[in-house]
């Protein structure tokens, strides 16, 4: 058995944060597929009682520990590996600020938007989609401006803040109906730099469950 097990599925940007971190730190890990769309495993009493009471993925299992929420997982892995960990208290707090911003604003808008556009039946109401698109555009503009100041979110080196913010940004542009990297030049260049990290992999290659059965 691998040292780490990650409960995940390929379509989840939240799970991708954790899977990408495991991959770029060179961890010994294996994915455990959560059949989110068909079986709804995460909503079963067994999953909530034994894996995650919140009924969500990702969940990282490491020995007797089970950790949920991607930001917690990123920090745990950074502390254990010594990789992508911001240097010093101020930098760690700044990274946390961007991770929370990502969860609330960037992924917090792009995730529901993409789900309602591609997977929900019926798809999202046009007014809801317009609202989410506006929030996503605003958040992405903030990230793009930040990246005009340096190659990574905190400056010269990538940290868990960068890994968190990639959560939904490598999914195909046709799933969004717009090209994030093309519309935000600094984000596009940053995504190329992140892609060059040893161990980087696309979410559809890193986690199970793609393509979805018809």
pLDDT digits (tens, 9 = 90+) for 83-109: 999 999 999 999 999 999 999 999 999
- Strands across the sheet containing 4-8: 29-33, 4-8, 59-62, 65-68
Instruction: State the CB neighbour count (10 A cutoff) for residue 176.
Output: 18
Q: Would the pTM count as exceeding 0.95?
A: yes
Let me know if the fold of 4-83+200-206 is the same as that of 89-195: no
The stretch 105-133 carries a mean pLDDT of: 97
Query: pLDDT class for 213, splitting at 50, 70, 90?
Result: confident
Q: What are phi and psi of 67, to 5 degrees?
A: -115, 135
Q: Where does 89-195 sit in CATH, by number?
A: 1.20.1050.10
pLDDT above 70 as % of the chain:
100
Q: Tell me what pLDDT residue 78 has.
A: 98
CATH architecture entry for 4-83+200-206: 3-Layer(aba) Sandwich (3.40)
Q: Where are the domains of the chain?
A: 4-83+200-206, 89-195
- Side-chain half-sphere exposure of 27, counting CA atoms within 13 A: 28
- Side-chain half-sphere exposure of 68, counting CA atoms within 13 A: 14
Q: Check whether 214 has a pLDDT greater than 80.
A: no
pLDDT digits (tens, 9 = 90+) for 128-157: 999 999 999 999 999 999 999 999 999 999
């Amino acid at each position: 058995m691998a040292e780490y097990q990650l409960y995940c599925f390929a379509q989840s940007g939240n799970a991708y944060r954790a899977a990408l971190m495991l991959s770029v730190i060179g961890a010994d890990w294996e994915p455990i597929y959560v059949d989110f769309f068909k079986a709804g495993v995460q909503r079963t009493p067994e999953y909530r009682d034994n894996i995650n009471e919140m009924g969500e993925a990702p969940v990282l299992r490491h020995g007797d520990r089970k950790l949920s929420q991607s930001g917690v997982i990123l920090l745990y892995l950074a502390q254990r590996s010594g990789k992508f960990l911001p240097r010093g208290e101020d930098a760690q707090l700044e990274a946390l600020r961007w991770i929370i911003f990502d969860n609330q604003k960037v992924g917090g808008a792009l995730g529901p938007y993409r789900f309602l556009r591609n997977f929900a039946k019926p798809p999202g109401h046009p007014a809801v989609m317009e609202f989410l698109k506006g929030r996503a555009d605003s958040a992405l503009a903030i990230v793009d401006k930040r990246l005009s100041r340096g190659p990574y979110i905190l400056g010269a080196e990538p940290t868990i803040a960068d890994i968190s913010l990639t959560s939904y940004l490598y999914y195909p542009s046709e799933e969004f109906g717009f090209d994030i990297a093309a519309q935000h030049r600094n984000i596009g260049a940053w995504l190329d730099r992140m892609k060059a990290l040893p161990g980087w992999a696309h979410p559809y290659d890193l986690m199970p469950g793609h393509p979805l059965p018809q």
